[in-house]
Structure 1
Amino acid sequence: MDAFSALLDDGGFKMISFDGYNLSHLLYADDVLVFGEASIDNCTNLSRILNTFANAIGLHVNFDNSSVMLPKNLKNQEAICQALSIHNISHKITYLGIHLSFYSLKVADFMPLMDSISKKLSGWNAHLFSFVGQLQFLKFTILNSIAYLICRSIIPKYVLKFFKRASSKFLLFGDLVSKNKIHMISYDRICKPKFCGDLGIPSLAALHFVFNCSVISIMYNRGSPLSSWLIHRYYSPWRPTPNYASKFWKVVCKTAIVAKPFFNFRITASAPISLHWDH
């Protein structure tokens, strides 16, 4: 795969390039994501690189399991697929458990996760649990199932409300079918820390907030493709949000404003500090 990376970087392939930031591909286990200009010449060049790699190493692309994602309103889609020998056009793919798409994700995209949570909660006779047992099951089984996705996707409000409603019914009533029962304590209230006198269940909003803070920390303290892209694209989370900003970045900026007093930066020679925007 090092040889494949060298072929992509040195073989004339037109990768994503923006203000000094370049990205040609990502590798993880047996998955390969290639990013480049959606032109016939560039796709023909990519096909040549893949053939060169296959003839030299003996690893061939499984085109039946491959797909291509194309920008909106691209007119020559069929020609691009022909140049790549890939005829499966996808508007959404799943990579490391995360949905990737040029379009906003809808509630239907999260239905498998919602069904999975419902089955996990309904599959137990929670009346046999003590309250502490229900709390531990909810805290370590259910939340661990959704925390990874919650922190890395823009999830519709309906889906978030479903998670809160299902968790509340399971914890307070022991099932998911209770419709007419009323509880006197808000679920958001019991998600507060134990030192505040509540149960300390991690709330979905808190998980998302912490992840946004970690993104800001990564920007300034780690050299990674993510940090390089965000700095080249947006400069600083405390800069006024530009019109071209993604929904993900707008959420990060809101978190940055709230958490601003708690960030401390170590200024080094290579630190990407913006004197105009960073505090």
Structure 2
Amino acid sequence: MRYELLGPLRVSHDGRGYSLSAPKMEMTLATLLVGAGRVTTKEQIIEELWGSGPPRRASAAVHVYLSQLRKFLTAAGDDSGRAVTTKPSGYLLRLDGAGYDVDDFRAAMREGRLLQQSGRYEAALDAFGRALSLVRGTVLDGTPEGPLLTRFTTWVEEERLACLELSVEASTALGRHREVISLLNTLTAQYPLRESFYRQLMLVLYRSERQAEALQVYRSAQRVLRSELGLEPCRSLRRLHQAILTSDRLLDLPVAS
């Protein structure tokens, strides 16, 4: 049995997929998955489903959703019928050996960071690629409005962008500058306030003997940040700009001894 929450919610077993058609049940399962292995209170579920204006019989509705959810999980492969258990303070979803894409994503990111720190960039790229492949889109198709699922959705997006940054760093360390220029052009357009992507794009352009374009990227970043935030580029971006202007040899890719 496997749960997938890094995109539209999916449950699968023996190659067969199962989905919930009722949005409230889907959000209930997502809320329990975010807190997998910990007790999720009934109040948390109610807040996720209805915000600050729950219906008068919200507690009864949650009880019905949990009952239906247990039946759904049993049909989807929970042979024990105990994937979701009731506790005095709320409800507990146990993975008990079930696959979970969020755990797999965290593990791949952790592995990639350790490999990168030890200079094993090729293996790190493979780990980051596995992590990125698990993110299929926005959580629950972008419908969450409650605080817990909203925070989780924000975390997923931030970790996905961090994974992209780390992948580019690994490719850059391997000298694959031209391979990431197109990706970074797309990322700076999609995330114009994320200065790290400008920095990476400037560096790979410079190392690809495109110094003028690297300087143009800085001017674009400066213009956007001034217009949107009233701020100058961060210190590291300004330092990189100055280093490119002077063709600082420290920007050259280190040669392995």
TM-score normalised to structure 1 length:
0.28
TM-score normalised to structure 2 length:
0.30
More helix by share: 2
